[in-house]
Amino acid sequence: MKSSKLSLRKYGQKPFNIAVIHGGPGAPGEMAPVARELSKSYGVLEPLQTKDSIQGQIKELYNILKEKADFPVILIGWSWGAWLSFIFASKHPLLVKKLILVGSGTFEAKYTKDLMKIRLSRLNVKERKEVTSLIDKLNNPNLKNKKVIMSRFGFLMSKSDSYDPLPHEDETLDVQYDVYKKVWPEADKLRQSGKLLDFGKKIKCPVVAIQGDYEPHLPEGVKKPLKKVVKDFKFILLKDCGHHPWFERKAKDIFYKTLKTEIN
């Protein structure tokens, strides 16, 4: 993990009409490999969110894109970034040409009841005990600096979420626990209330969801809800693929091929 206070990284040459939106919330940098690969053919922006509210991140993303992007843009949102891109496209429909959701969380709460059960089942006994301990520490208000704890928790979740990962570097620039602690409960409340899915009704552009079949976020929890509210929707399921398609040994090539096809 590296440290940085950047708000944007640029790859390739103009026009910059593609933006990759990272996950977390509060884990900037993870989309760098995707940005580098796409920059061989396109100009790509990688905004790095810092605000500790959904509205703050939407405004921050708007300001960055307004200054640096060539509209309309293709937004490629991964994990939490898929939700953020989804909300952004709803609020600024004329600015988004296409929305590509990769490894998105499910859009209805009923699909989340077995999420942690699935993840823990893929870890060994020692790792499962460690996850439980880490969760207790994250929930302990007396512990102040939780970046290291959050980083280790993220590592174990990433291991659980991967099917057959290639060796790779962790390119997260900074684990922003304070951002996660404030943004995630707000996001989960939107899902619980149904308001998250409602954003899809205002999206004007085509929406493509790319999900791995080994995703702990159940693919049907993305496909079925979005099919109900998005007018122009396509769902693509990648075989032998976990939460990070660009690191998956058996899915990496087809992921990039699929992504470039959808961009073109």
Global pTM value: 0.94
**pLDDT at 5 (0 to 100):** 52
Question: For the segment 233-255, what is each residue's pLDDT rounded down to a tens digit?
Answer: 999 999 999 999 999 999 999 99
End-to-end Cα, the chain, rounded Å: 33
Interatomic CA distance for residues 130 and 181, integer angstroms: 20
**Band of the pLDDT at 172, cuts 50, 70, 90?**
confident
Among 217, 23, 251, which residue's Cα sits nearest to residue 119? 217
The pLDDT value recorded for residue 6 is 65
Q: Are 144 and 223 in contact (CB under 8 A)?
A: no
Topology at the third CATH level for domain 8-114+148-263: Rossmann fold (3.40.50)
The Cα–Cα gap between 151 and 17 comes to 32
What does the pLDDT look like over 150-168, one tens digit per residue?
A: 999 999 999 999 999 999 9
Largest CA distance in the chain: 51
What are the tens digits of pLDDT across the range 126-154? Answer: 999 999 999 999 999 888 889 899 999 99
The pLDDT tens digits of the residues spanning 195-228 come to 999 999 999 999 999 999 999 999 999 999 999 9
